[in-house]
A and B are shown apart, each in its own frame.
Chain A
Amino acid sequence: MALYSEKVMDHFLHPRNVGVIEDADAVGEVGNAKCGDIMKMYLKIKDDVVEDVKFETFGCGSAIASSSMATEMIKGKPLSEVGKLTNQAVTKALDGLPAHKIHCSVLAEEAIKSALEDYEARKASKANA
């Protein structure tokens, strides 16, 4: 019996979409170093579709796996769908997380929401400019 599911370990050991998008259209960052978790998501958006996504995470195995899984789940998806991604969906896709690690999946959901808010804010300021 391992601490994490095989899916979690796979995404932790081979994280997808790791890195930075320098000319991102939206960036979301949540968490803080004091609590031991920071997640940062970079989105490239075209025609209201997430064309590309990258992440950086400071955190435990499940935080890294949750970020990786979440990026896979939103890549190529329309923003309307991306905004509806829940932490439960991320957890389910990972074949579950230990009870005290559920907050890692919440962080992934919040990082995406934060990026979408950033996108809306950037759009609004462009429209005003």
Chain B
Amino acid sequence: MSIYADHAATTAMSEAAINAMTRCMKEEYGNPSSLYRIGQLAKETLEKAREEVASVINAEPREIYFTSGGSEADNQAIRSAALAGKKKGKTHIISSAFEHHAVLHTLNTLKLEGFDVTLLPVHENGIVRPEEVEAAIRPDTCLVTIMYANNEIGTIQPIREIGTVCHAHQVLFHTDAVQAVGPLAIDVKAENIDYLSASSHKFHGPKGVGFLYARKGVPLTSLIDGGAQERGRRAGTENLPGIVGMTTALKETVAEREAEAARLTVLRDRLITGLNEIPHSALNGDAEKRLPGNVNFCFEGIEGESLLLLLDEKGISASSGSACTSGSLDPSHVLLAIGRIHDVAHGSLRLTLGRENTPEDVEYIISAVKDVVAYLRGFSPVWRDLQNGKRPYIL
């Protein structure tokens, strides 16, 4: 038995993407910047990919910049808006407490450079409130950056409403959409998005490639100096095989999106119902406003790393927000942000379903998690204390 249930971490490569990349590497090895025929052939492929990516999110091709992935896109968008803001004396940025580290760590660096950062609460349900975004906007606010869907608990943010608020106040709006591009239908124009970051390997494309959407006319500074690739906004010969693979995978994901979202929602809800049968456990994040494949639970009295290792022994690949899996002393900042206390946050499990998962997988996972949680509780001094009444139950 082998069940991959960590699609938020990465996804298996699409066969079509592998084939398209192989063909590109063999036949289109030319440099898109070269003027001779094989160079121009590569250039054509590159620009066709740009058009296809743009059409998926209702952008113009010239608004798409290929990057090395989501982290680079996040860095570039945030730094660009910050730099432009600073020139006008605007050094305040609004974000949320449970952003990805690609955003949070960029903001930390900007704080050292004199920026003031407000991290909005995400509440128990893991959702940012647009009215709180509006209340936090100041005359010196240059950027709002709120993720589209959270990578750990899968909660989907009211992006359109936040975008509307930002535009009403003439503040730039970036969204880290790494988990959303693919599973969710996105329209950057209708949703008032100025910058959007995406990563290929989250939707069955290759690793090391992604894109940044930057609305025409918004500030965009290069992080890498050199040649004039990507309209001077990202130097370096384009990763054409990667871009071709990403585009192929994206088209495939979009073609099956609605049917796949409906299928995964059924599997997700069955998994949630099954895991809810475990006493003293709780779902993390809103039950409905979440990604179709995302399930995230806390189980009281156990620790997440040992849970993952035992699930791995049963053939299940999953993830946890436990400190022990991160190498730091604190559990996931996302779980802390939704109000889970340390003791409980250590016992978290993230299962993210995707293309290959079946209803049988879900039944197997439910039964395996039940067994493993019961086994670990069987020799947990915390569980004993909870049962003896020496420690109050939290969940």
**Chain A residues near B (Cβ < 8 Å):** 9, 12-13, 15, 18-20, 29, 33-40, 55-61, 63-64, 100-101
Contacts and interface: CB of A to CB of B under 8 A. Distances in A.
Given A13-B313, A33-B342, A35-B329, A58 B382 contact: yes
12 contacts: A12-B306, A13-B310, A15-B379, A18-B379, A19-B379, A34-B342, A36-B322, A36-B323, A56-B384, A58-B302, A58-B380, A63-B306
A30 B342 CA distance: 17
Nearest to B313: A13
Contacts of B313: 13
B303 A37 contact: yes
B393 to A, nearest CB: 12
A60 to B, nearest CB: 4
Size bracket, chain B contacts: 20 to 34
Nearest to B342: A34
A57 to B, nearest CB: 7
Nearest to B344: A33
Interface in B299-313: 301-306, 309-310, 313
A36 B342 contact: yes
Nearest to A64: B306
Contacts of A18: 378-379
A33 B343 contact: yes
A38 B384 CA distance: 12
Contacts, number: 69
Interface string B283-324: 000000000000000000111111001100100000000111
Given A33-B346, A36-B346, A37-B303, A61 B382 contact: no
A41 to B, nearest CB: 10
A20 B34 CA distance: 74
A63 B305 CA distance: 10
B380 A56 contact: yes
Of A13, A29, A39, A40, the most chain B CB neighbours within 10 A belong to A40
B381 interface: yes
A100 B325 CA distance: 10
Nearest to A40: B381
Contacts of B324: 36, 59-61, 63, 101
A18 B378 CA distance: 9
B30 interface: no
